[in-house]
Structures are given as C-alpha cells and as structure tokens.
C-alpha cells in the first residue's frame, strides 16, 4: 500500500463559516475513451464473426449484444451521472448511496492492480452490508473504491479535493482524523 502524499493545508487554514456549494466529480470522457474503443473493437469483431460458420455467428451475435448493448448502457450511465458528489451533508456515490462526513474515517489514494481512491468508514459494521464487508478485505481495507483512471483528475488531486471539502464542511482542520 502506498504512503499517502502530504496535503497542503494552506487552503483550509482559514475555514469559511458557510458550507461550500455542491461539487460534482464526473468521469472524464477523455479518460473513459479507452473503454469506448475497447467496446467498439469487440463489436467490430462480432460483426466480422457473423461472416463465418454457425458457431462463429453465435459468438458474433453474443459479442455484438454484450459489448454493444452493455457498452452503450454502461457508457451512458458512467458519463451522465457524477462519480462522486460532495455536499454539506456528505458524499453521494454514483449508486445513490450517501455517506455522512462524520462516518468517514479516511480518504486516500492506493495501488492495487491500478491506482484507486478509497473511502474508509469509521463504523463499517453499522454501515456496510455483508457483501461490502467481504469486498473490503479485497480492497486493501477500503470500504468504497474508485478507479483513479476514470476520475476527472489524478487520484491524489481527488483525495485533496475531498479532504479540503470535508474540512471546510466539518469545520475541523484535522478531518479526517488520520495522520498524513
């Protein structure tokens, strides 16, 4: 696990009394483009398979339906809605789940197979379902994980934005209470 980079606290040294506006972090189209190209390649391969024998036709149809249909559906969902939404009440995830600021124990960037941004809850037993608890063990101890490759900025910049926002909203210059 990577050591978190130190944060520049100059922006949060003078905390504003009013909470900041809602900040929506959307998936970057430029960063999502390789996924779209991948879907397109498999759809084109599926079309090419349609010119073969019966087995190849079945594989071609499955490729077109799966990668064309799933790719279009996933792309619309990912590119239309925010990956993360920061508001005075907490963080809202793309799936609609909300996490209150006081329930967050840590936010950080880490590396598993790729760079990712993680959110660790202060009281995971009360907040997480059994499935999420299982996935926590496979996510380096993080409860929620976001691939840094599809976020609108680098993982470090997203973590800094979340921490600064959280500090401004909670009024605590040490939020989250983790040594950095």
pLDDT in tens, 81-135: 667 889 998 998 877 888 889 888 899 988 877 788 888 888 765 555 555 555 6
Closest CA to 118 of 103, 106, 131: 106
Residue 68, C-beta contacts closer than 8 angstroms, at least 6 positions apart: 39, 43, 46
Q: For residue 61, is pLDDT > 90?
A: yes
Tens of pLDDT, residues 26-35: 777 777 788 8
Residue 116: its H or E element: strand 115-121
pLDDT of residue 26: 78
Among candidates 146, 115, 150, which has minimal Cα distance to 36?
A: 150
What pLDDT is recorded for position 127?
54
d(CA 48, CA 59): 10
Mean of pLDDT values over 47-68? 92
pLDDT confidence of residue 4:
45
Sign of CA dihedral 127, 111, 95, 131: negative
pLDDT above 70 coverage of the chain, percent: 78
Structure token digits, residue 175? 């939020």
pLDDT at 11: 41
Band of residue 19 on the pLDDT scale cut at 50, 70, 90: low
CA geometry: angle 73, 78, 81, nearest 5 deg:
115
Higher pLDDT, 99 or 136: 99
Secondary structure letter of residue 34 according to DSSP: H
Cβ(162)–Cβ(155) below 8 Å? no
pLDDT for 65: 93
d(CA 2, CA 112): 9
In this prediction, residue 14 has a pLDDT band, given cuts at 50, 70 and 90, of very low
Residue 83 CB coordination number (10 Å): 19
Query: Which has more pLDDT, 153 or 179?
Result: 153
């Amino acid at each position: 696990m990577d050591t978190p980079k130190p944060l520049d606290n100059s922006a949060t040294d003078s905390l504003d009394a009013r909470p900041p506006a809602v900040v929506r972090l959307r998936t970057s189209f430029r960063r999502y483009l390789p996924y779209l190209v991948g879907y397109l390649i498999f759809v084109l391969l599926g079309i090419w398979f349609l010119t073969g024998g019966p087995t190849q036709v079945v594989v071609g149809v499955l490729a077109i339906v799966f990668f064309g249909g799933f790719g279009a559906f996933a792309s619309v969902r990912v590119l239309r809605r925010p990956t993360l939404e920061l508001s005075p009440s907490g963080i809202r995830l793309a799936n609609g789940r909300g996490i209150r600021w006081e329930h967050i124990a840590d936010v950080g960037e880490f590396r598993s197979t790729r760079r990712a941004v993680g959110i660790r809850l202060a009281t995971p037993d009360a907040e997480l379902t059994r499935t999420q608890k299982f996935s926590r063990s496979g996510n380096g101890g993080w409860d929620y994980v976001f691939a840094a490759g599809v976020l609108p900025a680098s993982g470090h910049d997203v973590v800094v934005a979340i921490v600064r926002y959280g500090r401004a909203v909670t009024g605590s210059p040490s939020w989250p209470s983790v040594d950095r």
